[in-house]
Amino acid sequence: FTDDTSMALCLANSLVACRGFKPYDQLVRYKWWYKFGYMSSTGHCFDIGAATSNSLREFERRQNIFAKEFSIPIADMDQLSNDELVQKFDTYCSEDGVAGNGALMRLAPVPLFFHKFPVIAVEYSGVSGQITHGDRKACDACRYYGALIVAALHGYTKEELLDDEFYSKHTKWFCNNQLHPDIESIAKGSYKKDGYNAGIRGKGYIVAALEAALWAFWSDGNSFEKGALAAVNLGDDTDTTAAIYGQLAGAHYGYRKLPERWLQHAYAKTFMEKLSKWIAYEGESWQKPIEHTVSPAPISNI
């Protein structure tokens, strides 16, 4: 597997190890992947996007500054466990205007973990993307897609998931925080057209990637295999378009509907099965805090 799955596994491991949502720990694990090949299928990082690598270099730079400011040995920074100190660390490491699909390709562990609490799942979905991709469109693409995955886990039908009014019917899940117009247009069904011939593209831009993945889900004839292949055959950023498709389609169709011959060749299949069960267990055990410990980053209205 490629960077999409590696980063999703980093995120999943963070949720399980921390038994909750800790952006600092997520960035640490992404950094481990970037520098040491943690959660890689090849033992090293490959195919990392420019936005992600820039944000991780910025994260490491901030770690060095923070260590000096608070007299912490730099070797201890990755294991920073003092909650008061962690709260002082700015984990929003992206430049403004960064809207690559890397924020969306790794998302699924967040709505899987927090599906019992849709409002929190949607909020954390946005934050999970924004720590490396600072544009409002990236945040809102993750919020919207996170909501769809939560709804799928709650047993919504495909027609309900793809309802052009899904967003307007679930504004409480979004705390009445309006989606960016480009994302809202997709939520209203802009992807429901003749695929590649009508301009659907699996590009690195998060708006195009979201539209392409939803087109694949909408047109897959209730077949995960058909949808995944359709996503790949759009060309361009093929692995990421398919990874985004697979998150929602997998939540909707379920494990048993995945092609068996694909599962037989999946790298680290047993590990991923166990980790998925662990996420389910910890997510069921997680209780809503009295107050959130994560604050959203300032977002421009551009």
What's the rounded Cα separation, in Å, for the pair 219 and 196? 12
Give the closest residue to 108 by CA, choosing from 207, 239, 15. 15
Known binder of ligand: residue 5?
no
Known binder of ligand: residue 220?
no
Q: Cα-flanking dihedrals φ and ψ of residue 205, to 5°?
A: -75, 130
Hey, what are 134's tokens? 């600072």
Known binder of ligand: residue 135?
no
Residues 111, 73 contacting (CB under 8 angstroms): no
What's the rounded Cα separation, in Å, for the pair 226 and 236? 18
Hey, what are 189's tokens? 């069904």
Q: What angle do CA 171, 297, 16 make, to 5 degrees?
A: 80
Residues 265, 247 contacting (CB under 8 angstroms): no
What's the rounded Cα separation, in Å, for the pair 136 and 126? 9
What's the rounded Cα separation, in Å, for the pair 278 and 292? 23
What's the rounded Cα separation, in Å, for the pair 170 and 42? 41
What's the rounded Cα separation, in Å, for the pair 5 and 87? 28
Known binder of ligand: residue 4?
yes
Residue corresponding to tokens 């309006």? 178
Known binder of ligand: residue 270?
no
Specify binding-site residues: 2-4, 237, 239-240
- The binding site for Mg(2+) comprises 2-4, 237, 239-240
